[in-house]
């Protein structure tokens, strides 16, 4: 009997771009999620749910192959034990930090790893996902899929995972008319010019870390109310605190790229599959910071409202996908390496982790956060995620103890900015 050939899935342009980020030592393209529970998860049920989730999204048990004319994902069918690890020790926090520092290797796989850590009868679940497969919104969709499988199985209900759909950026274009597409393609969109400000970081490839600050429920609720009363978003408000803290450090306002989820153009804001569908908008308020937080917020809101209404940010992604469709991989990659650059300082709002969808039934999730990939010096990004009206600010870096002190001090400055309006 002939051997069954492994399944192959095309690598999309955004997958390749994320791979290039690692090659160019921008970031390690591993996304991070952690959740604490009120009790114990069912380990066997978790493993079974992970296996079923891989049937729905088989790329997580693939490896990336870029040795031919077109790169692809090749299914390896890793066992669940290769994807899920369990630890029950008296020093869970240290083991969790160590697990969070693992960088996934796309050429080996698997593309997702789970660490379940138990201490004093309570569990913490850490999930690592390859950023090549999805952005933060796609990662959330995967976690919601996993939770749905887990709870349905827990309740003895049948769970039929959805079939893998298109991961291409082109699915966005169906939301636009021919005239709108022409307007996008003829727009001015400079994605290669960035602010020159850089953090003075030493870097240490042997020492990945995630520095984090928590904004508790009551404080975050007041911040949300403050933003709403000024017709601004919580993203505007957090970006304002970030820019004001940067201004104290660099002596001027810094133009900051801020991520945007492009699913807003899709029906029900939902992609056809788990994928990358995001880009950046640049918040450049000019030379005047304003004397107060409220004045800076007004400038940030004005800029971001204008940026969000402009579809020019789609142009570079359209051209990126077309380039990899037309040219051989080596040629397209060479063009991208010469033309693409990344901002030294950036901001990303991962958004809300939905309490209702991020549920494993019993026990309850008591705290959760998500953060992006770990940066290489001098690249710097602050991320924010929220769960149950509690926010987590984080900065991830391969860096020295001195670097961590600088990042810690900076995050404290951001918190101080927010405290001025509480």
CA distance 13 to 31: 19
CA distance 339 to 192: 7
Q: What is the CATH number of the domain that holds 105?
A: 3.30.559.10
Neighbours of 44 (CB within 10 A): 9
Is the same domain home to 287 and 415? Answer: yes
**pTM of the entire structure?**
0.96
CA distance 326 to 175: 23
Rg of the Cα atoms in the chain: 21
Is the same domain home to 208 and 150? Answer: no
The structural domain count of the chain equals 2
**Tens of each residue's pLDDT in the chain, 422 residues:** 455 677 899 999 999 999 999 999 999 999 999 999 999 999 999 999 999 999 999 999 999 998 878 899 999 989 999 999 999 988 899 999 999 999 999 999 999 999 999 999 999 999 999 999 999 999 999 999 999 999 998 887 766 666 678 999 889 988 899 999 899 988 887 667 899 999 999 999 999 999 999 999 999 999 999 999 999 999 999 999 999 999 999 999 999 999 999 999 998 999 999 999 999 999 999 999 999 999 999 999 999 999 999 998 898 888 899 999 999 888 988 988 888 888 999 999 999 999 999 999 999 999 999 999 999 999 999 999 999 999 999 999 999 999 999 999 999 999 999 999 99
Neighbours of 327 (CB within 10 A): 14
Is the same domain home to 274 and 362? Answer: yes
The distance between the two most distant Cα atoms of the chain, rounded to a whole number of Å, is: 76
In a domain, 333, yes or no: no
- Owning domain of residue 364: 194-313+341-419
Query: Which of 123, 138, 154 is at the close of a domain?
Result: 154
Is the same domain home to 126 and 203? Answer: no
Query: What are the residues facing 345 on neighbouring strands?
Result: 380
Q: In a 3-state reduction of DSSP, which class is residue 206?
A: coil
Q: What is the CATH number of the domain that holds 357?
A: 3.30.559.30
């Amino acid at each position: 009997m002939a051997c069954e050939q492994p399944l192959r899935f095309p690598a999309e342009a955004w997958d390749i771009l994320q791979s290039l980020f690692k090659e160019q030592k921008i970031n390690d393209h591993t996304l991070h999620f952690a959740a604490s529970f009120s009790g114990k998860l069912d380990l066997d049920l978790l493993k079974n749910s992970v296996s079923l989730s891989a049937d729905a999204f088989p790329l997580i048990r693939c490896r990336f192959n870029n040795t031919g004319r077109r790169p692809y994902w090749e299914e390896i069918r890793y066992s669940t034990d290769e994807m899920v690890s369990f630890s029950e020790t008296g020093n869970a926090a240290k083991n969790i930090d160590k697990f969070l520092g693992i960088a996934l290797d796309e050429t080996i796989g698997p593309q997702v790893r789970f660490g379940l850590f138990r201490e004093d009868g309570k569990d913490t679940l850490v999930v690592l996902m390859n950023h090549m497969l999805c952005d933060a919104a796609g990662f959330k969709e995967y976690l919601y899929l996993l939770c749905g499988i887990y709870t349905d199985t827990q309740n003895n209900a049948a769970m039929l995972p959805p079939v893998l759909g298109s991961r291409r950026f082109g699915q966005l274009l169906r939301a636009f008319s021919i005239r709108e597409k022409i307007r996008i393609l003829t727009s001015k969109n400079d994605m290669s010019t960035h602010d020159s400000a850089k953090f003075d970081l030493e870097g240490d490839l042997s020492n990945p870390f995630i520095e984090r600050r928590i904004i508790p429920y009551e404080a975050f609720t007041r911040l949300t109310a403050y933003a709403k009363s000024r017709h601004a978003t919580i993203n505007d408000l957090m970006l304002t605190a970030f820019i004001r803290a940067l201004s104290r450090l660099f002596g001027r306002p810094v133009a900051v790229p801020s991520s945007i989820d492009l699913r807003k153009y899709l029906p029900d804001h939902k992609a056809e599959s788990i994928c990358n569908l995001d880009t950046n908008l640049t918040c450049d308020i000019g030379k005047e910071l304003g004397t107060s937080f409220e004045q800076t917020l007004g400038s940030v809101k004005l800029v971001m409202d204008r940026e969000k209404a402009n579809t020019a940010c789609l142009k570079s992604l359209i051209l990126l996908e077309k380039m990899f469709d037309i040219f051989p991989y080596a040629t397209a990659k060479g063009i991208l390496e010469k033309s693409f650059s990344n901002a030294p300082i950036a901001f990303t709002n991962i958004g809300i982790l939905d309490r209702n969808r991020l549920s494993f039934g019993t026990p309850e999730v008591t705290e959760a956060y998500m953060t992006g990939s770990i940066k290489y010096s001098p690249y710097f990004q602050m991320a924010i995620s929220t769960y149950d009206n509690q926010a987590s600010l984080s900065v991830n870096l391969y860096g020295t103890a001195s670097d961590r002190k600088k990042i810690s001090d900076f995050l404290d400055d951001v918190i101080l900015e927010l405290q001025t309006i509480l």
